[in-house]
A and B are shown apart, each in its own frame.
Chain A
Amino acid sequence: MRPRRLIAIGFAVGSLLGLGLYARRGRGTERVDLYFADGSLVSLHSDSPEAALLLVHARDALQAAAK
């Protein structure tokens, strides 16, 4: 295999890995924090089913606010 070809394959694999990591990082920033009157806080990350339900409403509100 030619060295040029190896470089091209390496570049493609690296790009895919980078894209995957970037997408994963972006998804990780999604969360819902619930603050209660007694001072307690419940933080739900996007991978939890509860957060997924709440984020649907949040996204809808943000979409309406931004239009």
Chain B
Amino acid sequence: MALRELTEISSQVESAVLFDADGKVVAATIPDDRAERVAASATALLEQAEQIGEGDLTQIEASTGDGSLFVVKDGPMRIAASTSAEATAGLVFYDLKSCLREAAEPPPKPKPAAKPKPKPRTTKPKSDETS
């Protein structure tokens, strides 16, 4: 699922930002300056949250009165999404993980140009010539 499709398919996701471990924006559904701020805040949120629990932190849901922020981490890539306050966490996490998985896949290789088909033979086989 491409990031652009995420907001179309998942009606609960209002905006989404795909970024790397350094907080560098890879793709976003909002303008660059805002996306950079979202990525920076989400990176800080992840770093601070990792100090709280023991183990490998993979997902965060932060609910505020104004809405919810979802952050999902998978390898070197992260995705942050904003939703309304009453979003269904399971559905949002599923969509975000699908989007991250798709972003991690290498782009499909272009198909090699098709070889021209050999022309059908017009000459008769040799066996016919001798008879």
Proximity string of chain B (40-78) to chain A, C-beta cutoff 8 Å, 1 when within and 0 when not: 011011001100110111111111111111000000000
Which among B17, B30, B53 has the greatest number of chain A C-beta atoms within 10 A?
B53
Given contacts A36-B58, A42-B52, contact A65 B82 (CB under 8 A): yes
Q: How many residues of B contact A (CB 8 A)?
A: 35
Min CB distance A28 to B, Å, is 10
**Which of B14, B41, B56 sits near A58, CB closer than 8 Å?**
B41
A57 and B45 alpha carbons, distance in the complex (Å): 6
State whether the Cβ of B80 lies closer than 8 Å to any Cβ in chain A. yes
Tell me the bound Cα distance from A61 to B64 in angstroms.
11
Q: Using CB atoms, name the residue of chain B closest to A30.
A: B64
Q: Which of A37, A42, A61 contacts B69 (CB 8 A)?
A: A61
Q: Which residue of B lies closest to A64 (CB)?
A: B37
Q: What residues of chain B lie closer than 8 Å to A47, measured between beta carbons? A: none
**B91 surroundings in chain A (CB, below 8 A):** none
The answer to whether B52 touches A50, judged by C-beta atoms less than 8 angstroms apart, is: yes
Q: Does B4 contact A (CB under 8 A)?
A: no
Nearest CB of A to B126, in Å: 71
CB of B38 closer than 8 Å to a CB of A: yes
A1 at the interface (CB under 8 A from B): no
A65 to chain B, nearest CB (A): 4
9 pairs of A and B residues whose beta carbons are closest in the complex: A58-B62, A61-B41, A64-B37, A35-B59, A37-B56, A57-B45, A65-B82, A36-B55, A60-B41
